[in-house]
Structure 1
Amino acid sequence: MKKLIVLFSFILDIAVSTNAQTKPAEFKFDKESYDFGKIPLGKPVSVEFKFTNVGETPLIVTDVQTTCGCTVPEYTKTPVQSGKTGVIKVTYNPAGAALPFSKSITITSNAKTTTKVLYIKGETVAGSTK
C-alpha cells in the first residue's frame, strides 16, 4: 500500500510539474496598427488583424471593445488552438466632419497578456478619394 501511495504521489507530481511548464496562450499579430490614409465621409472601411496563438494552450478571445460606435469589431469566437490563427476584423464608419481620427480596439482574452490594444487611424475627407 505504501508503494502504491508513493507511486501515485510521484505520478501526480510529474503531472503537476508538466502542467506548470506549459506555455500559456499568447497572441502574435501580423500587425498591431493600421493607417487607412484618406477615406471619404460615409464610406465604411475595414481591416483584418490576423493573429497566431504562439502558446501551448487554446487562446480564447472573451471580448473586443472599441472607443466609439463608429468602430465595429468582429472576431474569432471559438478557441484558437496552439499554432492556429484567428482574426479580429475592424470596420470604421466615418461620419460627421472631415478630420483625422485615431481609434483603439481593446481585446480581452485568456492569453498570458490578458489585455491587448490594437490601433487604427486615418483622415476622413469630404467627397471621394482617388
Structure 2
Amino acid sequence: MKKLILGLGALCLIAFTSCKDNAAKKVDEKNVAVAAERDANSSKFPILQFEETEHDFGEIEARKPVETVFNYKNVGDAPLVITDIKSSCGCTVPKDWSREPLAPGESGKFTVRYNGSGANKITKTITVTANTEKGKEVVKIMAFVKPDPNTTNTTGH
C-alpha cells in the first residue's frame, strides 16, 4: 500500500512540474494585449439619461386613454441597447422603442399609453432593461383619475 501511495505521489509531482513549464511557454503576448483591452472596455457602460423620469398627466377622465413620450439620451461611453420595457400593470403599455444600439451622444424615445382605469391618484412604474451598469432604469407616470359617474367600481387597478 505504501508503494502505491508513494508511486502516485511521484507521478503527480512529475505531472505538475512538467505542466508548469509548458504553460509559461504557451502565453502569447498578443492574447495578453487583447485581454487587457477587453477588460478596459468592459468597464465602459452606456448611461441612460431621461429628459424627465416622471410624467404627471394631472386630472384625467376615467377610462379615457392618455399617452406621453419619454425622451432619453446615451451620455455614456458605450453603445446603449434597450432589451425590454415593461410596466407595473397591464393598464400601462410602453411601445415604439428602438432595439438597435444607440451610440454615445445619440437620443431615442418611447411612448407610454395609460388606459385611464382606476380611480383617484395612480402611480405606475415603467422599467427599462438595458446594458447600463445598473441593468434597469425606472420612469413613472402619475394621474388623478376622476371617478366614472356611470359606475360604482373604484378599484385601484
TM-score for the superposition, normalised by structure 1:
0.79
Gaps of at least 5 residues in structure 1 are: 1-7
1:26–1:113 CA contact under 8 A, matched in 2: no
Partner of residue 47, structure 1: 68
> Which of 39, 45, 50 lines up with 1:20 in the alignment?
39
- CA root-mean-square deviation: 2.1
The reply to whether residue 107 of structure 1 matches residue 136 of structure 2 is no
Whichever structure has more strand as a proportion of its residues is 1
Q: Which structure is richer in relative contact order (CA contacts within 8 A, separation 6 or more)?
A: 1
Aligned residues: 119
- Identity fraction in percent: 32
Show CA shifts across 1:2-44 (max 9, x none).
xxxxxx72x5555544443442112011111111100111221
1:30 corresponds to 2:71 = no
Higher helix proportion (structure 1 or 2): 2
Query: Post-superposition shift, 1:126?
Result: 4.4
- Please identify the structure whose Cα radius of gyration is greater: 2
Q: With structure 2 as the length reference, what TM-score do the two structures score?
A: 0.67
Q: 1:55 to 1:20 in 2, by over 3 A?
A: farther
Deviation at 1:76, TM superposition (A): 2.1
Aligned counterpart, 1:69: 90
